[in-house]
Amino acid sequence: MHRIVKLAAIAAASTAAVAVTASPALAWTNGPYHATTSALVVKVSGSPVATCTGSVLSGTMTTAGTFTVTAASATGCGVTVTPTGFPWSGSFSGGNATISNFKMSALGCTYAGSLSGPATGAMPPATVTFTDRPVSGTGLFCFSNVTVSATYVFTQP
């Protein structure tokens, strides 16, 4: 009888260990995703120069939380803002999200860099906040000290 109790205790402990190590935090599936925001803010030296009323990112996601951005838009900015240089790459890791190769053109300049910020919520959906992330400008008479801020909600259909 003792032997059966010990075996049952070992089996229960093994099951609990597997349950603790299996993390449902990244519940993405392989396939398409969309990320939307109602405000994409571009600042120069801390002052807003463009506040877009919408932005959408889309592409493909993997079960590991890595993704590509193959299309993007920025609307209602007051100036023409054109996302370029696709694909951008990204990932969710350790409660953060990063987009590398971010690139948008406006006013004759191309601004590029990496965006990173905290990711919250059950995934999917996940809310990612990029706050005053610096980007560099290339072109004639480009602004310096440019930052990008946005809060995107990532979802999968």
pLDDT at 19: 33
b/e burial code for range 29-55 (CB count within 10 A of at least 16 → b):
eeeebbbbbeebbbbeeeeebbebeeb
> Which stretches of the chain drop beneath a pLDDT of 50?
1-25
Say if 70 falls within a structural domain: yes
pLDDT at 124: 86
User: Pick from 156, 151, 154: which is nearest to 40 by CA?
Assistant: 151
User: Pick from 51, 104, 107: which is nearest to 78 by CA?
Assistant: 51
Residue 79, H or E segment = none
* Count of residues in the chain: 157
User: Distance between CA atoms of 59 and 33, rounded to whole angstroms?
Assistant: 6
Strand, helix or coil for residue 84 = coil
Say if 12 falls within a structural domain: no
pLDDT at 2: 41
Please report, for the domain that includes residue 144, its CATH number. Answer: 2.40.160
Say if 122 falls within a structural domain: yes
pLDDT at 27: 78
pLDDT at 26: 52
Q: Which domain holds residue 87?
A: 25-155
Say if 1 falls within a structural domain: no
Say if 65 falls within a structural domain: yes
Cα dihedral across residues 76, 80, 85, 86: positive or negative: positive
The total of structural domains in the chain comes to 1
Say if 14 falls within a structural domain: no
User: Distance between CA atoms of 134 and 127, rounded to whole angstroms?
Assistant: 20
Say if 106 falls within a structural domain: yes
Whether this model's pTM surpasses 0.75: yes
Q: Residue holding tokens 């009323």?
A: 53
Say if 131 falls within a structural domain: yes
Identity at 54, one-letter amino acid code: G
